[in-house]
């Protein structure tokens, strides 16, 4: 029972969520989609489509950019991936599986991104939900900063 066993069962749970989603939407399980979810699962932190494309290519998977975008949309819709668009840059994604939501501080000068979770943001969400009788299903809280 090494670390790989644990990670594999976690990946299995991830895969199961996606396959259930595909089934519910009448979409098929293709080898391309499998390759994409395996790679997305293994990537840590933020990544863009180009990074994913290059990694899959290095592993000799034939996955077009169109398929990549489409599969990422499906992953986002199924809640397994979060998508962000910071500034005018390319969309960045990150694996959201069993990860609580967080927010970002960008330091454009260095290109660094700080991730944070703050109870006040959660409190604000609850308060807005109650005030407007809504359920907030997505968020995009970004602060821009300069290093002192």
Which of 39, 94 has the CB closer to Zn ion?
94
**C-beta of 83: minimal distance to Zn ion in Å?**
11
Total residues at the site for Zn ion (CB under 5 A)?
Answer: 2
Tokens representing 44? Answer: 């840590």
Site for Zn ion in 78-97 (CB under 5 A): 94
Whole-angstrom Cα distance, residue 104 to residue 124? Answer: 16
123 binds Zn ion (CB under 5 A): no
Count CB atoms within 10 A of the CB of residue 72: 21
Contact residue for Zn ion among 50, 115, 122, 123 (CB under 5 A): 115
Binding site for Zn ion (CB under 5 A): 94, 115
């Amino acid at each position: 029972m090494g670390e790989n066993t644990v990670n594999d069962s976690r990946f299995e749970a991830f895969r199961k969520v996606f396959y259930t989603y595909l089934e519910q939407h009448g979409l098929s399980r293709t080898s391309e989609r499998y390759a994409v979810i395996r790679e997305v699962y293994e990537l840590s932190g933020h990544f863009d489509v180009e990074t994913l494309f290059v990694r899959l290519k290095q592993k000799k998977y034939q996955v077009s950019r169109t398929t990549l975008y489409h599969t990422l949309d499906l992953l986002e819709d199924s809640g397994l991936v979060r998508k962000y668009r910071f500034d005018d840059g390319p969309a960045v994604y990150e694996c959201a599986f069993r990860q609580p939501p967080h927010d970002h501080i960008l330091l454009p000068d260095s290109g660094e991104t700080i991730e944070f979770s703050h109870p006040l943001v959660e409190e604000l969400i609850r308060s807005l939900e109650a005030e407007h009788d809504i359920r907030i299903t997505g968020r995009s809280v970004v602060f821009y900063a300069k290093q002192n």
